Amino acid sequence: MATVRLLTDEEVRQRPQAWAVFEDIRATRKSDFINNFWRALAHDPAQLERVWTQLKQVMVAEGELPPLVREMIYIAVSTANGCTYCVHSHTAAAKAKGMTDGQHAELLAVIGMAAQTNAMVTALQVPVDEAFDVK
Amino acid sequence: MATVRLLTDEEVRQRPQAWAVFEDIRATRKSDFINNFWRALAHDPAQLERVWTQLKQVMVAEGELPPLVREMIYIAVSTANGCTYCVHSHTAAAKAKGMTDGQHAELLAVIGMAAQTNAMVTALQVPVDEAFDVK
Amino acid sequence: MATVRLLTDEEVRQRPQAWAVFEDIRATRKSDFINNFWRALAHDPAQLERVWTQLKQVMVAEGELPPLVREMIYIAVSTANGCTYCVHSHTAAAKAKGMTDGQHAELLAVIGMAAQTNAMVTALQVPVDEAFDVK
Amino acid sequence: MATVRLLTDEEVRQRPQAWAVFEDIRATRKSDFINNFWRALAHDPAQLERVWTQLKQVMVAEGELPPLVREMIYIAVSTANGCTYCVHSHTAAAKAKGMTDGQHAELLAVIGMAAQTNAMVTALQVPVDEAFDVK
Amino acid sequence: MATVRLLTDEEVRQRPQAWAVFEDIRATRKSDFINNFWRALAHDPAQLERVWTQLKQVMVAEGELPPLVREMIYIAVSTANGCTYCVHSHTAAAKAKGMTDGQHAELLAVIGMAAQTNAMVTALQVPVDEAFDVK
Amino acid sequence: MATVRLLTDEEVRQRPQAWAVFEDIRATRKSDFINNFWRALAHDPAQLERVWTQLKQVMVAEGELPPLVREMIYIAVSTANGCTYCVHSHTAAAKAKGMTDGQHAELLAVIGMAAQTNAMVTALQVPVDEAFDVK
């Protein structure tokens, strides 16, 4: 259960600003499916539009990082932040963008490795080497 | 300051198991520089060897993900875990592996985007869509 | 499922120190309902009393911050810490104290904004400006 | 030290899109001071503009939550996320918006209380009460 | 649901490297039960072997800390990281190693106390005392 | 720098409720040294007293867990929460209570191991085994 009701298409249709976003999500993703996150956000159409617009700029627009790499970074952050929903939705998105089982396994290994050394470094309070300084 | 003393080369040389790791780090990285994390870990040579061996398997060995992509995933996790040292050391490593300013900026954007929606999803407690289920 | 059994009223009644806390919770909240957190804590009556006493001082006692503002701060922390139960219970509490849909949506926006810039600042390792120094 | 160089006004002036943001920050805040976060972000003018625009919408625009309450929520999230820079900058912002010492102390108490019960609830894995369900 | 399928014994048997790990888990724990974590990891037999080998070295091998103390530390970290599965599995493991109800309650108290002061210290940005410096 | 000024003994002496706490800290620890956390908290004497009283109950009072074990759990939580100050102060406290270098190294190993599997489990979204259910 969510802390707000998830809105149905019929309810969103009554909010023109939100409905326009739903139509853009569908057109952008070439799919009729709209996942629960957007149905929860749609209570505040302006916020829905702001978050979706930003997501399109960051995750969909042309850039130097391939979309699959962006999805794997998204999974890494979502994992470290313990967001169950986000891990599920972005793992599904990465698979849809072609993530192989082997890449998924390596992603897990890097996430685990980083989490381990993050914790050890913090427990040791290792000071940053001067060599890492940015001039 | 760290919670243990950082060992100098001279001190590590007196611990043969640790010194062998230092020599392998230098050979693997083709550089004489050994960063502070390993100098802090060297108090326990078995642990030093275990962590370094694992890091080589996960970050250096051949795999399906390019080394630069692995570094960017490492930065993403380190950022979400708030590890100052790790953000510095792996950003330096990513730049050494060719990360461009544009890729760095996109990495930041994805990390920030993910952190934002992670938080919103958690505050909304959005239930996982059935469509994300793995058969 | 919890890592301890949730105690029923009948079981708590047999622990006088715990039962006194349950009676105070009911009197303070003017409601017969006691949520699961307290039923899990009641195994250790001294700890139950300590936590409840502290909660009353921090969340119920007269102060400079209105109770609703305190609840929204509680939701913000619980979200960042990824505590599902706490997000649910304190969102319910905030609504019971009058949080409007508009305030809830703004709370989400601030939480998401903060999480985003927290992550970007950490990835950038921005040094604290001298202007923020407290004399 | 940051993972990118902090840009000076002279450097930003050569990036018209970034300079326009700096001018808007100064006009909006009625102050010549621009803190380091924006100087780090300015390497990517489009990202700088996107984050600043969003911050204005969320933190400055008219809304149902008073600006000071928004700042306290921001501090709460930044604390839970362990963002040193953000805690400093938003505590300074909250003080500039009138946060009293008493309000600051209560904010600390709520943040600490929430963090404590978040951890206890997670260790106990308390199931969400049905009463918290949103119809 | 997991982001990968959980493998049955029959499926693991077809991956000799993974099956050898399953046999070692059973022999080490003197139990036929293999929990879901290993069934999820078994898709990548090399990773399964690496993680299990490490876990044996850290949690099972002779050392200066009693196994029960190690489990309680594991629970503490898992709680702070918000890992539901890990809290459950390691609380079960600690109980199997003799953790009493009283020790469990004290563990909860310490975890909660630490989380609370961690948050207060971070909100206050308390500078480290020179007395804590390691020479 | 902190977000509040650290109070000197002379300033605390003018707040009788806070000064009584300082005297109790000194008597309890049999040391004249008072670390910065308490000097930051002393601005709000009631809060100082509440936190110190709780700390004494949880960390100093007789119990089933030895004081050193409690300190190691405290370090584990502080590490996972990324609290620099707390890692330093509680590592110093653990050493003062007799933590050996070997125990410290094992503590690091367990913390790192837990952080690693926490992350892998979260990325895999492993469902909790029924066997872990508490009846």
Mean pLDDT of chain E: 97
Calculate what percentage of chain F has a pLDDT beyond 70. 99
Q: Which residues of D touch B (CB under 8 A)?
A: 1, 3-4, 43-44, 47, 51, 77, 81-83
Q: Do residue B43 and residue B57 come from a single domain?
A: yes
Predicted confidence (pLDDT) at residue D5 exceeds the cutoff of 90: yes
CB contact under 8 A, F118 and E84: no
Q: Work out the minimum CA distance from F43 to partner chain D, whole angstroms.
A: 8
Of residues E82, E91, E101, nearest to C43 (C-beta): E101
Q: Which residues of C touch E102 (CB under 8 A)?
A: 44
Residue to test with chain C: of F4, F50, F83, most C Cβ within 10 A: F50
* pLDDT for the residue numbered C1: 80
Q: Do residue E20 and residue E69 come from a single domain?
A: no
Burial of F44 (0-12, 13-18, 19+ CB in 10 A): buried
* pLDDT for the residue numbered B1: 79
CB contact under 8 A, F50 and C54: yes
Model pLDDT for residues E91-102, shown as the tens digit of each residue: 999 999 999 999
Predicted confidence (pLDDT) at residue E133 exceeds the cutoff of 90: no
Model pLDDT for residues E7-22, shown as the tens digit of each residue: 999 999 999 999 999 9
Alpha-carbon distance C42 to D124, whole Å? 12
Q: Are E117 and F86 in contact (CB under 8 A)?
A: yes
> Closest by alpha carbon to B5, among C77, A124, A115, C71?
A124
Q: Which residues of B touch E5 (CB under 8 A)?
A: 134-135
Please say which residue of B61, B85, B104 terminates a domain. Answer: B61
Does ipTM top 0.90?
yes
CB contact under 8 A, B87 and D3: yes
Domain-embedded: residue F1: no
Domain-embedded: residue D132: no
Please say which residue of E45, E61, E77 terminates a domain. Answer: E61
Q: Do residue F25 and residue F71 come from a single domain?
A: no
Q: Do residue A53 and residue A72 come from a single domain?
A: no
Give the pLDDT band of residue F134 (cuts 50, 70, 90). confident
Q: Do residue F41 and residue F77 come from a single domain?
A: no
Q: Work out the minimum CA distance from A46 to partner chain E, whole angstroms.
A: 31
Q: Do residue D111 and residue D100 come from a single domain?
A: yes
* pLDDT for the residue numbered A84: 97
Model pLDDT for residues A12-57, shown as the tens digit of each residue: 999 999 999 999 999 999 999 999 999 999 999 999 999 999 999 9
**What is the average per-residue pLDDT within D4-8?**
97
CB contact under 8 A, E43 and A101: yes
Domain-embedded: residue F102: yes
Alpha-carbon distance A4 to A41, whole Å? 9
Identity at A25, one-letter amino acid code: I
Model pLDDT for residues C67-79, shown as the tens digit of each residue: 999 999 999 999 9
Q: Are D95 and D72 in contact (CB under 8 A)?
A: no
Q: Work out the minimum CA distance from F82 to partner chain B, whole angstroms.
A: 6
Give the pLDDT band of residue A133 (cuts 50, 70, 90). confident
Q: Work out the minimum CA distance from D100 to partner chain A, whole angstroms.
A: 31
Q: Which residues of B touch E128 (CB under 8 A)?
A: 1
Q: Which residues of E touch A91 (CB under 8 A)?
A: 3
Give the pLDDT band of residue B134 (cuts 50, 70, 90). confident
Calculate what percentage of chain F has a pLDDT beyond 90. 97
Q: Which residues of E touch D (CB under 8 A)?
A: 75, 79-80, 82, 84, 87-88, 91, 107-108, 111-120, 122-125
CB contact under 8 A, F5 and C135: yes
Q: Which residues of C touch B94 (CB under 8 A)?
A: none
Q: How big is the B-C interface in CB pairs under 8 Å? A: 64
* pLDDT for the residue numbered B50: 97
Give the pLDDT band of residue E1 (cuts 50, 70, 90). confident
Q: Do residue C73 and residue C52 come from a single domain?
A: no
Domain containing E90: what range? Answer: 64-125
Q: Are B32 and B26 in contact (CB under 8 A)?
A: yes
| More confident site: B13 or E1 | B13
pTM equals 0.98
* pLDDT for the residue numbered F39: 98
Place of tokens 């059935």: B130
SS3 D133: coil
Q: Work out the minimum CA distance from F99 to partner chain D, whole angstroms.
A: 25
Neighbours of C10 (CB within 10 A): 7
Q: Which residues of D touch A (CB under 8 A)?
A: 1-5, 50, 54, 57, 128, 132-135
Q: Do residue A74 and residue A112 come from a single domain?
A: yes
Chains that touch A (3 or more CB pairs under 8 A): B, C, D, E, F
Q: Are C25 and C34 in contact (CB under 8 A)?
A: yes
Give the pLDDT band of residue F135 (cuts 50, 70, 90). low
| Total tally of structural domains belonging to chain F | 2
> Closest by alpha carbon to A124, among F21, F104, D76?
F104
* pLDDT for the residue numbered E11: 98
Domain-embedded: residue A26: yes
Domain-embedded: residue C78: yes
Rg over CA atoms, chain D: 19
Q: What residue in B sits closest to A54 (Cα-Cα)?
A: B113
Model pLDDT for residues A72-131, shown as the tens digit of each residue: 999 999 999 999 999 999 999 999 999 999 999 999 999 999 999 999 999 999 999 999
Q: Do residue B56 and residue B102 come from a single domain?
A: no
CB contact under 8 A, D110 and C74: yes
CA dihedral E129, E131, E132, E133 (to 10 degrees): 100
Mean pLDDT of chain B: 97
Q: What residue in A sits closest to C89 (Cα-Cα)?
A: A3
Q: Are E83 and F121 in contact (CB under 8 A)?
A: yes
Predicted confidence (pLDDT) at residue F115 exceeds the cutoff of 70: yes
Domain-embedded: residue A82: yes
Of residues E1, E47, E83, nearest to A105 (C-beta): E47
Model pLDDT for residues A62-82, shown as the tens digit of each residue: 999 999 999 999 999 999 999
Predicted confidence (pLDDT) at residue F40 exceeds the cutoff of 90: yes
CB contact under 8 A, C43 and E105: yes
Q: Which residues of B touch D (CB under 8 A)?
A: 82, 87-88, 91, 101-102, 104-105, 108-109, 112, 119
Give the pLDDT band of residue F11 (cuts 50, 70, 90). very high
**What is the average per-residue pLDDT within B102-122?**
98
Q: Do residue C72 and residue C119 come from a single domain?
A: yes
* pLDDT for the residue numbered B53: 97
Residue to test with chain D: of E74, E116, E118, most D Cβ within 10 A: E116
Chains that touch E (3 or more CB pairs under 8 A): A, B, C, D, F
Predicted confidence (pLDDT) at residue E67 exceeds the cutoff of 80: yes
Mean pLDDT of chain F: 97
Question: The CATH number of the domain where B90 resides is what?
Answer: 1.20.1290.10
Domain-embedded: residue D135: no
> Closest by alpha carbon to F4, among A109, D87, D17?
D87
Chains that touch B (3 or more CB pairs under 8 A): A, C, D, E, F
* pLDDT for the residue numbered C113: 98
Identity at A98, one-letter amino acid code: G
CB contact under 8 A, A119 and E43: no
What is the sign, positive or negative, of the torsion defined by CA atoms of C97, C102, C104, C106? Answer: negative
Q: Do residue F119 and residue F75 come from a single domain?
A: yes
Q: Do residue F69 and residue F57 come from a single domain?
A: no
Q: Give backbone dihedrals phi and psi of F61, rounded to 5 degrees, phi first.
A: -60, 155
Q: Are F21 and F43 in contact (CB under 8 A)?
A: no
Predicted confidence (pLDDT) at residue D135 exceeds the cutoff of 80: no
Domain-embedded: residue C18: yes
Give the CA count within 13 Å in the CB-facing half-sphere of F48: 25
Please say which residue of B27, B43, B61 terminates a domain. Answer: B61
Any residues with CB less than 8 A from the CB of C119 and at least 6 apart, and which?
A: A77, B79, B80, B111, B112, B114, B115, B116, D81
Model pLDDT for residues F56-97, shown as the tens digit of each residue: 999 999 999 999 999 999 999 999 999 999 999 999 999 999
Predicted confidence (pLDDT) at residue C133 exceeds the cutoff of 90: no
Q: Which residues of B touch E61 (CB under 8 A)?
A: none
Predicted confidence (pLDDT) at residue D52 exceeds the cutoff of 80: yes
Q: Work out the minimum CA distance from D27 to partner chain F, whole angstroms.
A: 27
Q: Work out the minimum CA distance from B19 to partner chain C, whole angstroms.
A: 32
Alpha-carbon distance E119 to E111, whole Å? 12
